[in-house]
Structure 1
Amino acid sequence: MRKLSNIAENFQEWLFNTVVSNNLVYNTCWEDPRLDRQMLQLDRQSRVVMLTSAGCNALDYLLDGPQRIHCVDVNPAQNALMDLKQSLFKNGDFSLLWDFLGEGKREGAAFIYRQNLRCFLSSPSRRFWDNHIDYFIPSPTQPSFYFNGTSGKVALLIYKRIQRKGLSSIIRKLLDAHTIKEQTYYFNEIEPLLWNGFHKWLAGQHALTSMIGVPATQRNIIARKYDGGMFDFIQQALRRVFTRRPIHDNYFWRVYLTGSYRRDCCPNYLRKDYFQLLRRREHKIETHTSTLLQFLRNHPGPYTHFVLLDHQDWMANSKPELLAREWRYILDNSKAGTRILFRSAGTSVDFLPAFVRDRVYFQPELTSSLQARDRVGTYESTHLGLVQ
């Protein structure tokens, strides 16, 4: 029995690694930078190391004027997306940036890419977008860039169900609501129509959770807390977001429910008021296609900030030796006062090695209060540590 369990775990890990290393997984960031910037307190001396994800938050951090941001991702597709976003700033046309990444679509995207954007890209990014620039060309079956990539495919399933059920109008009323009472009313109308037995089954499939970037280790953390597993977690997360937190400026859920942002509900990097400032600063972002360990070996610090997203969960309990090695490199490349930010599907930092908890002072009072204002709502906890 144990042998079969090991085979299953190894298959799940192989499936997840295959998905996240060969495909664009995240087409938008799924962490709230409004809270990040309060915790990170970036300034002109800040030297940041962060996981790239979709690059939205790296651009957001530029508003605080850090000296350098190193975006590190083992998945070249994620760095290609960061590179494309920088190319749209280099090109200098805000309307083009908005069409590609605000609306998520542009007729003639392939021609525009070849004429105006490709010249700014690195060779690996050119290879990726030469084959995938059609992500931005709308079609009846793929109406938006935000319904492409593996997480986008899952969003497309939800979008199509909304269309089939005739819920588009009420979804928009929900997203435009300005009071908790109003949005709760609309959500209660929608919720019973969203789910059926098939969706409960689907939520438990490893292939689906791998597509949205959730590894087996994270699923196990969720299963220990939620009796109904991933489906129960999703239901409770949605109810938390739509009935307890203001939704009118929640661009995270808007883009996945509608396929586009709105001018007054979008990431900061898509706001016209910030375009010229970010255009002047985008060169401060450098991308590196490698693991975090490889990056720190090749580019020793010290660094003032590390933003690890939910990456720690990927190693929790399953790869303790790798987790400890990574933290030794992080601490070796830190200095007193370095801030380390990460999120988790769990509720504590007990899974971290003892030497980390001895040297890093965590601030649960601050992070707990901010967690209650997180617009994404899909993490159980946020952790900010200060290196002593």
Structure 2
Amino acid sequence: MNVSAKVFEPTSVDLLSEAVHQNRALSAAGFLERTFTFAFRSMVYPQIWEDPRADMEALEFTPQSRVMTIASGGCNVMSYLTGNPARIIAIDLNETHIALLKLKLAAAQHLPNHATFYRFFGAADDRRNVHLYRDLIAQHLDAETRAYWDGRDISGRRRISRFARNFYRYGLLGRFITSGHVMARMLGANPKRILDAQSIDEQREIFDREIGPAFDHPLLRWITSNRASLFGLGIPPVQYDALSDNGARPMSEVLKERAQRLATGFDLKDNYFAWQAFGRRYAPQGQGPCPPYLDKANFLAVKTRTNRVTVVHDNMIRFLSNEPAESLDRYVLLDAQDWMDDATLNALWREITRTSRPGARVIFRTAGEPSILPGRVSSALLERWTYDAARSAEIHAKDRSAIYGGFHLYLKRD
């Protein structure tokens, strides 16, 4: 099985610099960009924050679908296997995300049953997971991936041991959520209480009483006014500006709005994103919502389809430039375009247009509400595509992660 591909020489630092740096190093904006790049080199997303169920509804996989997606935490890639596409190419700039996805693929293939697989990635807090890694998974990893998980973090502990200590509390996002809980408690709120709600009405009542007021506190308003404050969410300065309408809205107000939708927009019994945000875990013993790839009903499908995934450490444009014309038909860009300048956006869409088959579908999310492509990507390229505004709005309303301003679906014209 080939789950790895190397088509590059640059390091993660080089790739991240290409993606993020838009200003001179000695400028204030340039300093923030380089600080973000330094932070983003480590594990960022122990769980991806785009809803794969919404993605698959928009993508409409067929058994012939050939998918290119950003890997991120790997939950999307693993979950897409339940939709039965022919091939998935998972690309990422971050070597630690690559290592996490390869671990998930090897575990799905070599762990004996759903119970052990769920304990590893669903509970992710059991000492037996380290033994499972040693006995059943490690020997199936390439040397670089194994070295990463066998290696030690700044605390001196082996990285694989995080799966014995609640893996979802680690990475930039995990630590950001933990810090958010600490801050909330300091301000008199307890986010975990929302998990006691038995209905959406109770969720709204608890949010209004326990969580909402914390976002109005002057201390939180001051902290979130700093463009570096959201690095833990994987949000670079340029995306921070998009979230705040270039400073027209206080960031605390934006975050409150997104948190409210996460807490009250969907029943907790169907929203694992809320469990992660407010409980820093999934529901105990698997008795609650989880990503599709962790669902017991999907285990066999995921296990038998892992060989359809190719993992690539590179940027999307360079990867696509080496692919044949009309070789792909599904593209998942997450929110990466929010980071890009106009020249990069046009380069990306030239390659997407060249490599895509008629009827291909592209999905992405944005920090703000509207699509960022009109007026920035050339009309000659966009004329090859149809923007399905109605379907985009419909899918956005179903996205349980609830943290993005917009979901966007483009279809290639015949």
Counterpart selection for 2:162 from 131, 135, 151: 135
Q: Which amino acid aligns with 1:260?
A: R
Q: Is the 8 A contact 1:146 1:256 kept in 2?
A: no
Q: Which residue pairs with 1:326 in the alignment?
A: 348
Structure 1: unaligned runs, 5 residues or longer: 139-143
| Counterpart AA for 1:51 | I
Aligned counterpart for 1:369 among listed residues 394, 399, 408: 394
How do 1:227-376 and structure 2 match up within 5 A?
227-262=248-283, 263=286, 264-301=288-325, 302-315=327-340, 319-346=341-368, 347-348=370-371, 349-350=373-374, 351-376=376-401
Report what 1:222 is aligned to: 243
User: CA deviation digits over 1:238-268, x for unaligned, max 9?
Assistant: 1223234333211012023222212231111
| Contact in 2 for aligned 1:88/1:96 (Cα 8 Å) | no
Per the TM alignment, residue 226 of structure 1 is displaced from its structure 2 partner at its CA by: 6.6
Matched to 2:407, the amino acid is T
8 Å Cα contact 2:212/2:256 also seen in 1: no
1:126 aligns to what SS in structure 2? helix
Opposite residue 146 of structure 1, the aligned amino acid is Y
Question: Amino acid of the residue matched to residue 171 of structure 1?
Answer: I
Summarize deviations over 1:123-179 as a string: whole Å, max 9, x none.
Answer: 2211211122122232xxxxx2111011111011123456675836623213xx33x
The CA distance in 2 between the partners of 1:148 and 1:169, in whole Å, is 18
CA contact (8 A) 2:262 2:274 kept: no
Report if the CA contact (8 A) 2:25-2:31 is conserved: no
Which has the larger share of helix? 1
Instruction: Answer yes or no: is 1:84 the counterpart of 2:99.
Output: no
Q: For residues 192 and 385 of structure 1, what CA distance do their matches in structure 2 show?
A: 35
Which has the larger displacement, 349-358 or 322-331? Answer: 349-358
1:14 and 2:37 aligned = no
Where does residue 171 of structure 1 map in the other structure?
194
Task: Give TM-score, length-normalised by structure 2.
Answer: 0.84
Alignment of 1:155 with 2:177, yes or no, is yes
CA RMSD of aligned residues (A): 2.2
Moved more, 285-294 or 246-255: 246-255
- Aligned residue for 2:147, secondary structure, equals helix
**Separation (CA, whole Å) in 1 of partners of 2:223 and 2:142:** 38
| Deviation per residue, 1:78-103 (Å, 9 max, x gap) | 11111111121122332222222111
Aligned residues: 374
Could you list the per-position Cα deviations for residues 158-217 of structure 1 after superposition, in whole angstroms to 9, with x for gaps in the alignment?
Answer: 23456675836623213xx33x32211121121256443332233233333222111111
Deviation of 1:104 (Å): 2.3
1:198 aligns with 219
Q: 1:170 is aligned with what amino acid?
A: R
* Residue pair 2:334, 2:363 contacting (<8 A) in 1 also: yes
SS of the residue corresponding to residue 208 of structure 1 reads coil
Contact 2:24–2:30, Cα closer than 8 Å, also in 1: no
CA spacing shift, 1:15–1:354, aligned 2, 3 Å: farther
| Moved beyond 4 Å, runs of 4+ | 3-6, 161-166
Q: Would you say the 8 A contact 1:109–1:136 is kept in 2?
A: yes
Amino acid at match of 1:133: I
Worse-superposed segment, 6-15 or 160-169: 160-169
Amino acid at match of 1:204: S
- Cα distance in 2 for partners of 1:298, 1:204 equals 42
Question: How far apart are the structure 1 equivalents of 2:232 and 2:181?
Answer: 16
Q: 1:60 to 1:110 in 2, by over 3 A?
A: closer
Secondary structure class of the residue paired with 1:37: helix
Match of 1:99 in 2: 119
Alignment TM-score, normalising by the size of structure 1: 0.90
Point out the more displaced range, 10-19 or 154-163: 154-163
The CA distance in 2 between the partners of 1:17 and 1:64, in whole Å, is 34
- Describe the SS at the equivalent of 1:106: coil
Whether contact under 8 Å (1:226, 1:232) holds in the other structure is no
Which residue in 2 is equivalent to 1:141?
none
In structure 2, the CA distance between the partners of 1:297 and 1:137, relative to structure 1 (3 Å rule), is same
Question: Residue type matched to 1:118 in 2?
Answer: A
1:33-92 CA-to-partner distances (Å, cap 9, x unmatched) read 111111101011000000001111112111121110000001111111111111211223
In 2 relative to 1, CA 235–126 (structure 1 residues): closer, same or farther, beyond 3 Å? same
- Asked whether the 8 Å contact 2:53–2:292 carries over to 1, the reply is no
Q: Secondary structure, in 3 states, of the residue corresponding to 1:286?
A: strand
Choose which of 60, 65, 68 in structure 2 pairs with 1:41: 60
- In the TM superposition, what is the alpha-carbon distance from 1:355 to its structure 2 partner? 2.7
Partners of 1:321 and 1:109 in 2: CA distance: 45
Post-superposition offset of 1:357: 1.9
Counterpart in the other structure of 1:382: 407
